[in-house]
A = this chain, B = another copy of it.
Amino acid sequence: MDFDINKIREDFPILKQNLYSGQLVYFDNGATTQKPNSVINIINEYYSKYNSNIHRGVHYLSEKMTQAYETARKTVKTFINANSDTEIIFTSGTTESINLVAFSFGEIFINEGDEILISEMEHHSNIVPWQMLCERKKAKLKVIKLNHFGELLLGELDELLTDKTKLVAITHVSNTLGTINPIKDIIKKAHAKGAYVLIDGAQGIQHQKVDVKDLDCDFYAFSGHKIYGPTGIGILYGKEELLNKMPPYKGGGDMIKSVTIEKTVYNELPFKFEAGTSNFVGAVGLDHAIRYVQNIGIDKIAEYESDLATYATDAISRIEGVKIFGQSPNKSSIISFNIENIHHFDAGMVLDKMNIAVRTGTHCTEPIMKFFGIDGTIRASLSFYNTKQEVDKLVEGIKKVKELFG
């Protein structure tokens, strides 16, 4: 299939939206992505024709909905090349996936004095759950530091990894700096020391091929809404052997085999971790979002986005007074920057009025801000439906901002 940007843009109704004085330029893809018609329509269709609770139903609709839900699981399994369906847990998003591991893995694997290793570039969702776990279990949180290009100081990894390190929780791609971490190496080193590894894939999965078998990660977490799917659905991939050892996270319907007041027997994987009514329509939406990505081809997407990011980085960095944060050669299509003497919030407000949606602030990564000694950035995060013309509008916008506040 050819990568036809005009045809692709046709698939996303919101991109035709007019804001104040012209067409939306949506560069806030790191926060959430837009949905293709195939996703919007399937949600509509399932609510209109097949909506029914899953798993325990004897009737037609329930059967149909259950099949769609389990098909979604298979789609995810194939997409990330997991060994089996049972390794794919539906959650409400990356944050819940990480909290699930922090609780359930934590309950059984983390004891007083153990260490958990994260990095200075983590999203709060991959910091706070570990802080909470460390507090509960009297364990220690350790940190891989950054350099000024926004890369991890992996030279220090050998020292940071000790016999007490039980888990390394690291982001695949930094949502603020765009840095793509060499996770395969990190996983190998951690495993050599006997530590397990969780990858926060919130910004990884939608931009490049992820093969959990090849990576050999123990957990991989991501959100549906960041890969063109609906809100309220996410994935935790976990190795079956580990998931089997972990106690359940939430209790309720569907995660049990039998219940008496005295004793409850938990269900097998993946249901053990899916308590209560799942977001089954959300799962179907995610299924179709992934199919959409597969249809284009994740490698084609990566190539196009990389090209666009290079173009944007080049254009933005030519503007005088602009400083880009995150300059690793291994970068995703996320560009964080500030304009000299102009508050990021002021810039964002003016860009907004020029119909350009960027994010401003700390992007839920305060430790990165502290490292760079700033209190926020302007972040343009690009997706495969964005264009160079849109980048040009952003450049124009930045110039206008400079003029206004100059």
Q: Are B31 and A51 in contact (CB under 8 A)?
A: no
- Contacts A279-B231, A352-B59; A125 near B252 (Cβ below 8 A): yes
- Contacts A51-B14, A95-B276; A61 near B24 (Cβ below 8 A): yes
Q: Are A58 and B24 in contact (CB under 8 A)?
A: no
Complex Cα distance A258/B361, Å?
Answer: 12
A263 to chain B, nearest CB (A): 8
A100: nearest chain-B partner, CB-CB: B250
Decide if A281 is an interface residue (CB 8 Å cutoff). yes
- Which of the listed residues A94, A232, A356 has the most CB atoms from chain B within 10 Å of its own CB? A232
Q: Are B128 and A256 in contact (CB under 8 A)?
A: yes
Binds B, one of A37-45, A212-220, A238-246, A295-303: A37-45
A48: nearest chain-B partner, CB-CB: B13
Q: Are A131 and B62 in contact (CB under 8 A)?
A: no
- Contacts A58-B348, A366-B260; A251 near B93 (Cβ below 8 A): no
0/1 string, A328-361, CB within 8 A of B gives 1: 0000000000000000010011011001111111
Q: Are A39 and B31 in contact (CB under 8 A)?
A: no
Complex Cα distance A35/B282, Å?
Answer: 15
Decide if A405 is an interface residue (CB 8 Å cutoff). no
Q: Are B128 and A59 in contact (CB under 8 A)?
A: no
The B-contacting residues of A in range 1-59, CB under 8 angstroms, are 13-14, 17, 19-20, 24, 26, 28, 31-32, 34-35, 39-40, 43-44, 47-53, 56-59
Cβ contacts A to B, 23 pairs, < 8 Å:
A28-B53, A28-B61, A35-B47, A57-B357, A59-B351, A59-B352, A92-B92, A92-B232, A92-B276, A92-B279, A94-B276, A95-B251, A95-B252, A124-B256, A125-B252, A131-B264, A132-B248, A132-B251, A230-B281, A231-B277, A231-B281, A254-B364, A282-B282
Having A56-B359, A58-B358, A230-B232, one finds 16 other A-B pairs with CB under 8 Å, namely: A14-B47, A35-B47, A58-B349, A58-B360, A61-B357, A95-B251, A99-B250, A99-B252, A123-B253, A124-B251, A125-B253, A128-B259, A128-B264, A258-B366, A259-B366, A282-B282
Which 9 residue pairs spanning A and B have beta carbons closest together?
A: A95-B276, A232-B279, A128-B251, A232-B232, A125-B252, A31-B53, A95-B252, A58-B348, A59-B357
Residues of A within 8 A of B (CB): 13-14, 17, 19-20, 24, 26, 28, 31-32, 34-35, 39-40, 43-44, 47-53, 56-62, 92-96, 98-99, 102, 118, 120, 123-125, 127-132, 141, 143, 223, 225, 230-233, 248, 250-256, 258-261, 264, 275-282, 345, 348-349, 351-352, 355-361, 364, 366-367, 370
